[in-house]
């Protein structure tokens, strides 16, 4: 494990983060532990200080610079052959990273590997799929092989071959501050000839939810997360339209969040075929696709990007409000038309009733 550098972003939730860091320590002696402190509160800073006393290195301590720049900062600073990202709300099972490290050693064609993810209250996710429309889903594959190819691996626990990550430019800052950066990196690796794997023999318990924190402002709200998911998915589709054309569609999906068994089988077969085609060969180390981006002034970069993000979200919300207003007007007009039609039907019924009474009175006189 002396060739593994760990990278952890710390924000809020000191007790939870300390559990994550302790789980890293239980993995064994690592090369280094790199910390990025994104707008931490005092308890979190105290946790960071305690780990610095144990040998950790702080790469940034200040404004929230986002996930993608934070991991690029760690990729550039890391001294290990491998870089393992771990979320502050993750807990690595004993032996998790050693298992992943062994897998990358046995498979030189692999650029990254992740463990099985257990999410308390929601089950497992170990078969991540990127669909033709750019949507990404994590599904359980309990009956699948222990080691398999996958479309992407999330950063809650992701072991990267540093040379591969650097060769494809690391995390794309277009996906600031978060969401789809991990999906994009996986596709970059696949397109460059690297495999992306998941090893179910390794386990990470991901408690999830650290990103959503309304107390830290509107950009950390659940609504903001949904906006980011939609915006970054569109950016991802625009960037990888050619690659996505070969991905399966969710033709038989029960819903947008529940692909059918046949859809998932096609997706897994596609990832397996891509891996098999590599035939155990790592890509040629030719020219890099793009440099790893780390802005010189991280605070200014984060401020500008967050300001742009807030403006985009406000514009989106105003547009959505306009759409809802138009829809409400259409519903109101439709209701008025129904009400008018109901009046016409009521009048017709009254007329029929009068005619019926007239006929009935005529029959009685006869």
| Together in a domain, 144 and 270 | yes
Identify the H or E element spanning 21: helix 14-25
Last residue of a domain, one of 276, 293, 310: 293
**Proportion of the chain in helix, strand, coil states, percent, rounded to 5:** 50, 20, 30
Residues 77, 141, single domain; the answer is yes
Q: Do 361 and 258 share a structural domain?
A: no
Q: How many other CB atoms are found less than 10 A from the CB of residue 210?
A: 21
Residues 334 and 351 in one domain: yes
Is residue 142 located within the same domain as residue 188?
yes
Q: What's the rounded Cα separation, in Å, for the pair 204 and 248?
A: 28
Taking the chain, what is the end-to-end CA distance rounded to the nearest angstrom? 108
- Is 0.75 topped by the overall pTM? yes
One domain for residues 79 and 136: yes
Cβ neighbours around 144 below 10 Å, total: 16
Split the chain (366 residues) into runs of 10 and give each run's mean pLDDT.
Answer: 95 96 94 96 97 97 94 96 97 98 97 94 81 87 85 96 96 93 97 96 86 55 81 96 91 58 84 90 64 82 80 73 73 80 80 77 64
Q: Are 78 and 5 in contact (CB under 8 A)?
A: yes
Q: Return the beta strands (E) in the chain as ranges.
A: 4-10, 32-38, 57-62, 82-86, 90-92, 110-119, 123-125, 127-130, 136-139, 147-149, 157-161, 195-206
Query: What is the model's pLDDT at position 254?
Result: 47
The total number of structural domains in the chain stands at: 2
- 124 and 253 share one domain: yes
| Rounded distance between C-alpha atoms, residue 55 and residue 105, angstroms | 26
- Give pLDDT, residue 326: 72
The CATH number of the domain holding residue 169 is 3.90.550.10
Cα–Cα nearest to 8, from 40, 201, 110: 40
| Distances in whole angstroms, Cα of residue 165 to Cα of each of 288, 289, 336 | 10, 11, 60
195 by DSSP, 3-state: which?
A: strand
> 325 and 280 in one domain?
no
The pLDDT assigned to 312 comes to: 77
Strands 157-161 and 147-149, bridge-based pairing: unpaired
What per-residue confidence (pLDDT) applies to 285? Answer: 60
- Determine whether 244 is exposed, middle or buried from the number of CB atoms within 10 Å of its CB (0-12, 13-18, 19+): middle
pLDDT at 122: 77
Q: What is the domain extent for residue 314? A: 295-366
Question: What b/e sequence results for 347-361 when a residue is b if at least 16 CB atoms lie within 10 Å of its CB, and e otherwise?
Answer: eeeeeeeeeeeeeee
- pLDDT reported for residue 5: 98
Q: How far apart are CA 236 and CA 187, in angstroms?
A: 10
């Amino acid at each position: 494990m002396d060739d593994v550098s760990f990278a952890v972003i710390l924000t809020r939730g000191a007790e939870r983060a300390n559990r994550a860091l302790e789980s890293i320590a239980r993995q064994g002696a690592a090369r280094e532990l790199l910390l990025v402190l994104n707008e931490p509160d005092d308890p979190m800073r105290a946790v960071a200080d305690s780990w610095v006393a144990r040998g950790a290195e702080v790469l940034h301590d200040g404004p929230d610079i986002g996930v993608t720049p934070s991991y690029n900062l760690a990729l550039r600073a890391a001294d290990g052959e491998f870089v393992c990202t771990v979320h502050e709300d993750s807990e690595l099972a004993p032996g998790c990273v050693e298992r992943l490290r062994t897998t990358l050693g046995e498979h030189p064609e692999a650029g990254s590997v992740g463990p099985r993810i257990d999410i308390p209250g929601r089950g497992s996710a170990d078969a991540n799929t990127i669909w033709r429309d750019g949507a990404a889903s994590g599904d359980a594959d309990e009956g699948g092989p222990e080691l398999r190819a996958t479309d992407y691996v999330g950063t809650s626990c992701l072991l990267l071959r540093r040379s591969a990550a650097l060769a494809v430019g690391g995390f794309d800052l277009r996906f600031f501050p978060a969401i789809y950066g991990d999906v994009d990196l996986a596709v970059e690796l696949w397109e460059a000839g690297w495999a992306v794997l998941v090893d179910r023999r390794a386990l990470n318990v991901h408690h999830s939810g650290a990103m959503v924190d309304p107390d830290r402002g509107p950009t950390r709200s659940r609504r903001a997360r949904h906006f980011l998911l939609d915006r970054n998915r569109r950016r991802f589709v625009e960037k990888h339209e050619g690659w996505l054309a070969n991905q399966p569609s969710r033709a038989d999906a029960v819903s947008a969040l529940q692909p059918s068994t046949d859809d998932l089988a096609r997706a897994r077969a596609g990832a397996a075929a891509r891996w098999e085609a590599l035939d155990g060969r790592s890509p040629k180390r030719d020219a890099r696709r793009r440099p790893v981006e780390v802005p010189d002034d991280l605070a200014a970069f984060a401020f500008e990007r967050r300001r742009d993000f807030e403006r985009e979200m406000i514009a989106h919300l105003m547009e959505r409000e306009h759409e809802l207003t138009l829809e409400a007007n259409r519903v109101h007009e439709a209701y008025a038309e129904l009400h008018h039609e109901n009046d016409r039907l009521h009048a017709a019924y009254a007329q029929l009733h009068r005619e019926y009474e007239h006929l009935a009175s005529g029959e009685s006189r006869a």
